[in-house]
Amino acid sequence: MAVDGFELAYDLTGSGPVVVALHGWPGDRTDYRDLVPLLSGCRVLVPDLRGFGSSDKHVVADPAEQYSSAAQSRGVADLITSLGLEPAVVVGYDIGSRIAQELARARPDLVRAMVICPPLPGVGARVFGPGPLREFWYQSFHRLPLSEALVDGKPDAVRAYLRHFWEHWSGPSFTVSEEHLDHLVSVYGPPGAFTASVQWYRAGAGTAARAAAETAPAPEDRLATPTAVLWPEHDPLFPREWSDRIDEFFSQARLRFVDGAGHYAPLEYPSVIAEEVHAFLADEGPASDEGAW
């Protein structure tokens, strides 16, 4: 059954407690290929989000209706319920982190705990400083028709464009493989696919668009889902000092720094994510107190 006219492709493997893993931009469900084998004893659901991978890629007149964090979370919630899955530990990085957080707010009955990486709330006006603006340019670019004209439907341009982000956002010990770029070009390169993937930004869901209106909730309205926040050392989008306000938005969160890593969490530090997931499933809470408040 489609939600808002979108069917989601997914992998569902294993048996046991449920884990749902949500990918980022510019990736798809194959971002979790190294994590899934580490989640032994779990039933793991990894979907392609709306507009990505093998899921439906509709380009719509009003992206806010169908590509916002609320819309993306509706699709994930329906997938979980239609498959008859129990409440899950939800893993997310990049846009998958925002969608996980929205899912926990909108459907707390479906989310047992979260293991998430940046973006997190609390960035605020810092995103408009000269350093961050040099990094977040792409979010404004994606909202321009020019991005379609230059990239969409042009496999060579898609490859060069995505390679920039996979190389620039990753940590010093990670190198994206040509095979993975081949795969990404196969799903981002067809006509309309790149444009569908940037509907998230056109819906106003990116960090730069959200930051200006960001306000901390009242204490009783903080997100209460037990949460492990993993913050890498070398993510150029989200410096570690931006982790200082997490407790203003979450009531049961703990921060863990991940040294040596960059933005691409499930490929750069899958063992850390798996450790935190297994800890929640054992009802032990987050696996490490490093960096916790």
Residue type, 151: V
Which 8-state DSSP code applies to residue 6? B
The reply to whether 263 belongs to the active site is yes
The reply to whether 56 belongs to the active site is no
- Among 30, 24, 50, smallest CA distance to 193 is for 50
- Among 70, 72, 33, 35, smallest CA distance to 52 is for 72
Residue 97 C-alpha from the chain's centroid: 4
In the set 93, 138, 161, 201, the catalytic residue is 201
In the set 263, 264, 269, 278, the catalytic residue is 263
Query: In whole angstroms, how large is the CA radius of gyration of the chain?
Result: 18
Which 8-state DSSP code applies to residue 173? T
Q: How far is CA 248 from CA 46, 92, 222, in A?
A: 30, 20, 7
The reply to whether 201 belongs to the active site is yes
In the set 48, 94, 152, 235, the catalytic residue is 94
C-alpha span between 81 and 59 (Å, rounded): 26
- 8 A C-beta contact, residue 20 and residue 99: no
Q: How far is CA 34 from CA 66, 199, 264, 267, in A?
A: 30, 27, 12, 6
110 Cβ contact list (under 8 Å, min separation 6) = 77, 80, 81, 87, 88, 103
List active site positions: 94, 201, 263
